[in-house]
Amino acid sequence: MRRTKNIIICGTGGQGILMASEVLCSAAWRSGFDVKKSEVHGMAQRGGSVSSHVRFGEKVNSVLVEKGAADVILALEKMESLRWVSYLAPHGKLITCDVKIEPMTVNTGSAVYPDVEKIMDEMNIPNLMLPVREIAKELGNNRVVNIILLGAASKHLPEISEENWFQAVEERVPPKALEVNLEAFRRGRAL
């Protein structure tokens, strides 16, 4: 692989973004790559926007993805996908879902939640808007949205083998929730 791969996972506090990026890093590392990831703790966790940058390749320097360079943007909340859209590379994939979490500014009426689909159409942003709420419901667990989406993203990261993905999920997910997370990953990967 000549180029370093750049992935941004984004969403809101409490959605399991850091867990998803841990799984991705572990899978990349198992595949023999140098890996770096960056995230910010603190204020961001109180329901604010959360993002994690992951980069893997032969040798990685910067932990941060540069604007215009992301191969994959994985957004666990649909409006948050737009916050990062300027990071998308020309060939990049924007993967998001039908999860909508209104920020406090919208709740209290000082802002309006945008029509995400319309903006994407108008700006011609190629995107995958995946129906993960339905899948999470079928799996009986709202907390696996992160892993369903990671499964969907995994198809766009062919450098990492299926086996390494599953081992990474096994390594990072608490044993109690392993079965449902493995199934979530499979369902995502099949999307």
Partner 1 sequence: MRKKLNEVDSGKLFLSGNEAIARGAWEKGVHFASSYPGTPSTEIMETIGEEYPEIDAQWAPNEKVGVEVIAGASFAGARVLSTMKHVGLNVAADPFFTLSYIGATGGIVIVSADDPGMHSSQNEQDNRLLGRAAKVVILEPSDSQEAKDFTALGYDISEEFDTPVLLRITTRICHSKSLVEAGPRMEVPVKGYTKDIAKRVPIPANARKMHSRVEARLKAIEEWGYSSPLNRIEMGDKSIGIITSGISYQYVKEVYPEASVLKLGLTNPLPWKLIGEFIDQVDSVMFVEEGEPYLEERIRSRFLVDGTGSELISVEGELNPELVRAGIKNGEELPLTFTGVELPGRPPALCPGCPHRGAFHILSKMKASSTGDIGCYTLGLMPPYNALETVVCMGASIGVLSGIEKAVGRSDMPKLVSAIGESTFVHSGITGLIDMVYNGSTGTVMIMDNSLTAMTGGQENPTTGKNLRGEPAPVLDLEKMVLACGVKYVRVVDPHDLPEMRRAFEEEFAREELSVIITRRPCIMQYKPKRITVAVHHPDKCVHCKLCVKLGCPAISWDAEKRIPVINETLCWPNCNLCVQVCPKDALSKDLEGVV
Question: Residues in the site for partner 1, rule: CB under 8 A?
Answer: 12-13, 25-26, 29, 34-49, 60-64, 66-69, 79-80, 82-83, 85-86, 88-90, 92, 102-114, 119, 123, 125, 142
Tokens encoding 129: 């808007």
* C-beta of 123 vs 190, nearer to partner 1: 123
Structural tokens at position 189: 């990967």
The secondary structure of the chain as a DSSP string is --SPEEEEEEEETTS-HHHHHHHHHHHHHHTT-EEEEEE--SGGGTTSEEEEEEEEESS---SSPPTT-EEEEEESSHHHHHHTGGGEEEEEEEEEES-----HHHHTTSS----HHHHHHHTT--EEEE-HHHHHHHTT-GGGHHHHHHHHHHTT-TTS-HHHHHHHHHHHS-GGGHHHHHHHHHHHHT-
Report, in angstroms and rounded to the nearest whole number, the Rg of the chain calculated over CA atoms. 16
Of residues 62 and 161, the one with the C-beta less far from partner 1: 62
* C-beta closer to partner 1: residue 9 or 69: 69
Nearer to partner 1, 53 or 187 (CB): 53
To the nearest whole angstrom, how small is the minimum distance from the Cβ of residue 144 to partner 1? 13
d(CA 43, CA 27): 29
Nearer CB in complex with partner 1: 32/131 = 32
